[in-house]
């Protein structure tokens, strides 16, 4: 009865004036005593202040993670880790309203959409729980003379440094913490300074679930200070990073210090190919969701729209009408479909792309500007934007915008569409819209991207691997391949005669 009462205690409200970070099982301030603000992107008002962790705070967290890895945590059996993950999943479900509200207030995601992620995130935790008892090595026949036995063991890689972005704090945290706990690793998580509150609530739930001290640590701070210190740290065995390609390159360089293992989920500029036979009633809203979900702040956002010339004009007209009808507003409004951008800095970046698109000759078919009317003027709101008359050379077509912007381009043949779809340094995702099953499979095979959706978009599942090609990174999240990123293979030889 006592445990049940404890799990139902409310989490720390996201607008609590001052928050602490979580290191070695305790809530602590930064050693410097410095703090930084986190801002509600819908209102421009301060939500809370969090510690500004620096290198010395990362040092303490990594040392705690190392002690836990070599100490009590190493004695947890697979079934123990499984039970712990299942307990965490139950707590997530019990407190999902609080977690989802935290994401909405801190980074702007519409609350209705944030609440809809409950099953996916709890499913991720339960998937990793199931995998915890399915990690095994193998015996290997060898050709050595005499009686020689050889086998392999898969062991936790050690201390993991995880650096996550602001666009999906809850899911991104669990994509790092889940496999670490399942495999027996320990972790130091550095959330984005733009949206650190949900990861701190997650640490609170980990503590309530009984995760031993030092196994999960959350250090808040800037990327250039705390993030860089974590990437460079000589006692970190692996870095799991989600974020921009530019930062990913910096992390790769930093990893050379101790040749640590690295997995990178980076940027994208995903193409959507709409064939002449596509079902427009399905394709139009799906394309809109591909581009505008989470205000376009998704690495897989379908921002390059390649439409067969025979249906191009009709499709763009219908897409523009759909975009114009989407309700833009604060995430806490139950009618909101498109929330604010995460920060003033991101707003300025996106508006810069909108201006560049017009200057380069594209035509605004919907949106095209910041929303500055009424109560929305105080927030970081941009109208869902559809550009027509675009060309492959334009910055809005070449560069990742991370805002609610899509550019439409006509094509005359499937070979042309594939060539232009692949003409990007990125390779994270893509979409195909057709009623012909042969065309669907052919295009899916030819698009150089880690995920290709056909007549749908954004579908994700814990059992299905996700990750990019080319400059969109390497390594997988989801599926059994994800666990491999957190495991090291050891070979054992035994002379029997």
- Give the tens place of pLDDT for each residue, 153-175: 999 999 999 999 999 999 999 99
Answer for the pair 321, 384: CB distance below 8 angstroms, yes or no.
no
Answer for the pair 488, 156: CB distance below 8 angstroms, yes or no.
yes
Q: Which pLDDT value is given to residue 7?
A: 43
Give the pLDDT band (50/70/90) at residue 322: very high
d(CA 162, CA 184): 15
Give me the mean pLDDT over the 6-25 stretch. 83
Give the pLDDT band (50/70/90) at residue 106: very high
Q: Which pLDDT value is given to residue 38?
A: 96
**Residue in 204, 232, 275, 299 annotated catalytic:** 299
Topology (CATH) of 270-461: Aldehyde Dehydrogenase; Chain A, domain 2 (3.40.309)
Is the pLDDT at 4 greater than 60? The verdict is no
Give me the mean pLDDT over the 35-56 stretch. 97
Domain with CATH 3.40.309.10 in the chain: 270-461
Give me the mean pLDDT over the 131-135 stretch. 96
Give the pLDDT band (50/70/90) at residue 74: very high
Answer for the pair 106, 198: CB distance below 8 angstroms, yes or no.
yes
Answer for the pair 177, 162: CB distance below 8 angstroms, yes or no.
yes
d(CA 193, CA 221): 6
| Phi, psi values for residue 158, rounded to 5° | 130, -130
Give the pLDDT band (50/70/90) at residue 497: confident
Q: Which pLDDT value is given to residue 8?
A: 63
Could you confirm whether 265 is annotated as catalytic? yes
Give me the mean pLDDT over the 287-314 stretch. 98
Q: Which pLDDT value is given to residue 6?
A: 44
**Residue in 193, 204, 232, 265 annotated catalytic:** 265
Give me the mean pLDDT over the 332-341 stretch. 97
Percent of the chain residues past pLDDT 70, beyond the cut = 98
Give me the mean pLDDT over the 108-121 stretch. 96
Question: Mean pLDDT, the chain, as a whole number?
Answer: 96
Is the pLDDT at 114 greater than 70? The verdict is yes
Percent of the chain residues past pLDDT 90, beyond the cut = 96
d(CA 331, CA 109): 6
Could you confirm whether 275 is annotated as catalytic? no
Write the CB contacts of 131 (distance below 8 Å, at least 6 apart in sequence). 179, 182, 480, 483
Domain with CATH 3.40.605.10 in the chain: 2-266+472-493
Give the pLDDT band (50/70/90) at residue 14: confident
Q: Which burial class, exposed, middle or buried, applies to 265 when counting CB atoms under 10 A from its CB (0-12, 13-18, 19+)?
A: buried
Superfamily name and number for 2-266+472-493: Aldehyde Dehydrogenase; Chain A, domain 1 (3.40.605.10)
Give me the mean pLDDT over the 180-196 stretch. 98
Q: Which pLDDT value is given to residue 13?
A: 83
Q: Which pLDDT value is given to residue 356?
A: 98
Give me the mean pLDDT over the 343-369 stretch. 98
């Amino acid at each position: 009865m006592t445990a049940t009462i404890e799990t139902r205690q409310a989490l720390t409200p996201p607008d609590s004036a001052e928050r602490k970070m979580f290191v070695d099982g305790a809530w602590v301030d930064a050693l410097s005593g410095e703090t930084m603000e986190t801002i509600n992107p819908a209102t421009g008002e301060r939500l809370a202040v969090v510690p500004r962790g620096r290198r010395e705070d990362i040092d303490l967290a990594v040392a705690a993670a190392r002690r836990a890895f070599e100490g009590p945590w190493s004695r947890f059996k697979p079934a123990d880790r499984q039970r712990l993950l299942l307990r965490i999943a139950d707590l997530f479900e019990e407190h999902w309203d609080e977690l989802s509200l935290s994401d909405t207030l801190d980074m702007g995601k519409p609350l209705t959409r944030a609440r809809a992620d409950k099953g996916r995130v709890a499913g991720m935790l339960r998937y990793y729980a199931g995998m915890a008892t399915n990690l095994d090595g193998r015996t290997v026949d060898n050709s050595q003379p005499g009686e020689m036995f050889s086998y392999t063991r898969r062991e936790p890689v050690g201390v993991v440094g995880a650096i996550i972005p602001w666009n999906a704090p809850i899911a991104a945290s669990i994509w790092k913490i889940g496999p670490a706990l399942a495999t027996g690793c320990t972790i130091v998580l550095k959330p984005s300074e733009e949206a650190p509150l949900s990861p701190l609530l997650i640490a609170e739930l980990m503590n309530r679930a009984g995760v031993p001290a030092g196994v999960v640590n959350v250090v808040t701070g800037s990327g250039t200070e705390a993030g860089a210190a974590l990437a460079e740290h000589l006692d970190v065995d692996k870095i799991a990073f989600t974020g921009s390609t530019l930062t990913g390159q910096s992390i790769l360089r930093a990893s050379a210090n101790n040749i640590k293992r690295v997995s990178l989920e980076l940027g994208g500029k995903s193409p959507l190919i709409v064939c002449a036979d596509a079902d427009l009633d399905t394709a139009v809203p799906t394309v809109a969701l591909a581009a505008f979900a989470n205000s376009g702040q998704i690495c897989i956002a379908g921002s390059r729209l390649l439409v067969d010339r025979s249906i191009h004009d009709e499709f763009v007209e219908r897409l523009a009408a759909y975009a114009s009808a989407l309700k833009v507003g604060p995430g806490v409004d139950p009618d909101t479909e498109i929330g604010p951008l995460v920060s003033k800095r991101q707003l300025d970046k996106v508006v810069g792309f909108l201006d560049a698109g017009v200057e380069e000759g594209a035509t605004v078919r919907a949106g095209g500007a910041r929303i500055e009317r009424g109560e929305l003027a105080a927030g970081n709101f941009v109208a869902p934007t559809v550009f027509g008359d675009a060309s492959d050379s334009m910055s809005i077509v070449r560069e990742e915008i991370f805002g609610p912007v899509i550019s439409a381009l006509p094509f005359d043949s499937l070979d042309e569409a594939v060539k232009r779809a692949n003409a990007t340094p990125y390779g994270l995702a893509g979409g195909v819209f057709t009623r012909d099953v042969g065309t669907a499979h052919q295009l899916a095979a030819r698009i150089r991207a880690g995920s290709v959706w056909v007549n749908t978009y954004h579908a994700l599942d814990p059992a299905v691997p996700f990750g990019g090609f080319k400059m969109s990174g390497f390594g997988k999240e989801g599926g059994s391949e994800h666990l491999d990123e957190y495991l090291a293979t050891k070979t054992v030889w035994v002379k029997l005669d």
